[in-house]
C-alpha cells in the first residue's frame, strides 16, 4: 500500500503531501566528517517516506508502519530534548529545530513508512529527519535552502536524539542525485556530484547487513570523536583536516599511541577520498578504486578500531571471492559492509559470505544490491 493510503487508513483523511528521503552508503571517507575532512557517500534506493498534514491545534501526532513501534503525541510547544524516546525523536527533533530558527511550526499528523533497515549503518535516522525536514519546511512555509536543512537535521540528531554525529548522513540524503556519488568537503561544506554509473560498467555494489545492530548515541562513537579532538589539540590544529601524513609521522612523539593511530586513520582516509574522487572523475574504471576501499577498511579496523568480527569476515570473504574492493561503511561497531563486485559475480560473492557467516556461527547476513539513488524530494 502506498504512503498516502497508509496515512488515510490511519488518520481517516488524505494527507496534504508525501515527502521522501534516502538512506546512504558511504563509498569512502569514514569518521572524517567531524574532523572537517572529505567524504564520498551515495544515496541508496531505500527511502523513508512521510505523509503529513497540518493541524490547527498545535498537536503533533506521529505514527509509523514499523512493527512494534508505538505512536507518539505531543504539543509542538512542549517539544524539548529528552521529551521523547525511540524512533519519534528523529521526526519531532526536526520540528523542534525549525522552531529554534524562528519558524512557526503547526501541529501535524505524520505517518512514517521506511524501507531503510534500522541499525544497519545505512542512515535510517537521517532519512527520517530529511524527509521530515522537507515536509515541515513546506507545511510551515519556512524558507531554508538544502544546505541549511543539512545543519538543521544534524542538530535534531545531535541535540534532540542525542547522537553526536557529523554532517555526512544528512548531506548524502538531502544533496545526492541518482547515478552519482556526492563528494563533500565537510569544512567548507562545498559539494559536487561524481559520476557513478555502476550498471553501465557491469559492476554491482552489495550491502552486507551483518544484523549486528549499531548505535551512535552511546559509547564508542563519542570516544572516537574525543580521541580525534585530543590528537588535534596535541598537534596545535583546529581539526585533523589541517594535518598532512608526513607531518603527522614527524609529530608522533607529541601524541599518545591511541591518539596517533586515530589521527593516522583520519589523515590517510582524507587522502584516500581524494584518490577515489580523482579516479572516478578521470573516467577510469570504477573497479580500480577497489584497493582504496580495501585500504580504508584496514585503517578502520587497525587504527580506528571501529570494525567488528562480522564486518571483517564480510570484507575478507568478499575479497577472497573476487570482489575488487570491500569495506565497512558508516560509523561501525556493527552495521553493514559494502562490496564492489562484478555484476556477474554478485550472486557467488553473496553466497560465499552467507556460507562463511554460517561456518563462523554468526547471524545470517542480509545481502542486497544498491543503486546510487535520488536525494530527498516531494513524492506527491
Stretch that binds ligand GAF, among 24-32, 51-59, 67-75, 354-362 (CB under 6 A): 24-32
Contact flag: residue 330 with ligand GAF (CB under 6 A):
yes
C-alpha distances out from residue 284 to 180, 201, 270, 288, 305, Å? 15, 10, 20, 7, 31
Residues 210-229 contacting ligand GAF, CB under 6 A = 216
Instruction: State which of residues 7, 34, 87, 260 lies at the interface with ligand GAF (CB under 6 A).
Output: 34
Using DSSP, state whether 209 is helix, strand or coil: strand
Q: How many residues does the chain have?
A: 380
* Strand 203-209 versus strand 107-114 pairing type: unpaired
26 class by beta-carbon count within 10 Å (0-12 exposed, 13-18 middle, 19+ buried): buried
Instruction: State which of residues 3, 6, 19, 30 lies at the interface with ligand GAF (CB under 6 A).
Output: 30
Contact flag: residue 17 with ligand GAF (CB under 6 A):
no
For residues 53 and 114, the answer to whether their CB atoms sit within 8 Å is no
Helices and strands, number each (H, E), in the chain:
11, 12
**CA angle at 273 for the pair 352 and 249, rounded to the nearest 5°:** 105
Stretch that binds ligand GAF, among 23-31, 59-67, 81-89, 178-186 (CB under 6 A): 23-31
Contact flag: residue 93 with ligand GAF (CB under 6 A):
no
Instruction: State which of residues 7, 15, 17, 31 lies at the interface with ligand GAF (CB under 6 A).
Output: 31
Residues 6+ apart with CB under 8 A from 283: none
Q: For the CB of residue 62, give the shortest distance to ligand GAF in the complex, in Å.
A: 22
Stretch that binds ligand GAF, among 15-23, 145-153, 160-168, 234-242 (CB under 6 A): 160-168
Contact flag: residue 260 with ligand GAF (CB under 6 A):
no
Report the residue number, 108 or 259, with the smaller CB distance to ligand GAF: 259
Provide DSSP, 43-90: EEEEEEEEEEEEESSSEEEEEE-STTPPPEEEEGGG--TTS--TTHHH
* Total of chain residues touching ligand GAF, rule CB under 6 A: 12
Catalytic residues: 169
Contact flag: residue 165 with ligand GAF (CB under 6 A):
yes
Stretch that binds ligand GAF, among 30-38, 45-53, 176-184, 293-301 (CB under 6 A): 30-38
Report the residue number, 228 or 294, with the smaller CB distance to ligand GAF: 228
Measured over the CA atoms of residue 365, residue 370, residue 374 and residue 378, the dihedral's sign is negative
* Strand 72-75 versus strand 59-64 pairing type: antiparallel
Please give the residue ranges that form the binding site for ligand GAF (CB under 6 A).
26, 30-31, 33-34, 165-166, 168-169, 216, 330-331
Amino acid at each position: 500500500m502506498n504512503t498516502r493510503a497508509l496515512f488515510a487508513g490511519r488518520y481517516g483523511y488524505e494527507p496534504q503531501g508525501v515527502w521522501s528521503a534516502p538512506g546512504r552508503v558511504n563509498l569512502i571517507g569514514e569518521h572524517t566528517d567531524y574532523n572537517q575532512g572529505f567524504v564520498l557517500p551515495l544515496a541508496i534506493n531505500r527511502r523513508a517516506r512521510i505523509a503529513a498534514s497540518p493541524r490547527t491545534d498545535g498537536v503533533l501526532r506521529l505514527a509509523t508502519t514499523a512493527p512494534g513501534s508505538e505512536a507518539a503525541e505531543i504539543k509542538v510547544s512542549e517539544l524539548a530534548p529528552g521529551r521523547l524516546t525511540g524512533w519519534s525523536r528523529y521526526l519531532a527533533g526536526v520540528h523542534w529545530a525549525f522552531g529554534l530558527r524562528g519558524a512557526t511550526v503547526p501541529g501535524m499528523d505524520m505517518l512514517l513508512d521506511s524501507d531503510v533497515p534500522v541499525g544497519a549503518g545505512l542512515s535510517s535516522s537521517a532519512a527520517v529527519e530529511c524527509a521530515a525536514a522537507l515536509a515541515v519546511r513546506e507545511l510551515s512555509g519556512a524558507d531554508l535552502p538544502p544546505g541549511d536543512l543539512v545543519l538543521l537535521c544534524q542538530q535534531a540528531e545531535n541535540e534532540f536524539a542525542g547522537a553526536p554525529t557529523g554532517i555526512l548522513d544528512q548531506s548524502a540524503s538531502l544533496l545526492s542525485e541518482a547515478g552519482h556519488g556526492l563528494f563533500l568537503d565537510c569544512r567548507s561544506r562545498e559539494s559536487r556530484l561524481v559520476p557513478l554509473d555502476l550498471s553501465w560498467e557491469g559492476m554491482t555494489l552489495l550491502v552486507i547487513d551483518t544484523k549486528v545492530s549499531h548505535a551512535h548515541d552511546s559509547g564508542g562513537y563519542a570516544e572516537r570523536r574525543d580521541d580525534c579532538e585530543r590528537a588535534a589539540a596535541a598537534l596545535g590544529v583546529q581539526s585533523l583536516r589541517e594535518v598532512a601524513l608526513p607531518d603527522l609521522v614527524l609529530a608522533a612523539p607529541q601524541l599518545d599511541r591511541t591518539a596517533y593511530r586515530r589521527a593516522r586513520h583520519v589523515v590517510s582516509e582524507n587522502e584516500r577520498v581524494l584518490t577515489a574522487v580523482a579516479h572516478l572523475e578521470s573516467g577510469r574504471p570504477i573497479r580500480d578504486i577497489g584497493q582504496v576501499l580495501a585500504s580504508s577498511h584496514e585503517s578502520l579496523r587497525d587504527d580506528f578500531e571501529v570494525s567488528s568480527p562480522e564486518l571483517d569476515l564480510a570484507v575478507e570473504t568478499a575479497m577472497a571471492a573476487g570482489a575488487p574492493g570491500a569495506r565497512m561503511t558508516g560509523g561501525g561497531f556493527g552495521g553493514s559492509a559494502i562490496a564492489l563486485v562484478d555484476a556477474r559475480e554478485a550472486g557467488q560473492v553473496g553466497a560465499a559470505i552467507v556460507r562463511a557467516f554460517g561456518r563462523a556461527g554468526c547471524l545470517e547476513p542480509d545481502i542486497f544490491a544498491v543503486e546510487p539513488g535520488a536525494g530527498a524530494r516531494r513524492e506527491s
